[in-house]
């Protein structure tokens, strides 16, 4: 089997200081939207390379953050079954 174009040392160098996986892939010259993304993510995990996981600034809040924000709101939204998404209400 031939040597990989992405040895552990190269992956570690790209991941070092990167805030996101996309940033690390960019350092490798890989389009973050390409199918190579999954391959490199799995290769990094397999080789024990610390994969950047930090959410970029400006990213959307996840469900727990939304729940916390909504629970502390002075005007929480209330939906009944007729207002639910996908409900015909008829």
CB 28 within 8 A of CB 40: yes
Residue boundaries of the structural domains of the chain: 8-47
Check if the beta carbon of residue 63 is closer than 8 Å to that of residue 56.
no
CB 22 within 8 A of CB 32: yes
12: exposed, middle or buried (Cβ count in 10 Å: 0-12, 13-18, 19+)? middle
- For residue range 18-33, list pLDDT tens digits in order: 989 999 999 999 999 9
The answer to whether residue 61 scores a pLDDT higher than 60 is no
Q: The whole model's pTM is what?
A: 0.57
């Amino acid at each position: 089997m031939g040597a990989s174009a992405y040895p552990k040392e190269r992956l570690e160098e790209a991941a070092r200081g990167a805030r996101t996986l996309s940033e690390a892939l960019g350092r490798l010259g890989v389009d973050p939207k390409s199918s190579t993304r999954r391959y490199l993510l799995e290769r990094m995990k397999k080789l024990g390379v610390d994969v950047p996981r930090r959410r970029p600034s400006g990213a959307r809040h996840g469900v727990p953050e939304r729940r916390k924000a909504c629970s502390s709101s002075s005007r929480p939204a209330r939906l009944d079954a007729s207002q639910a998404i996908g409900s015909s209400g008829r």
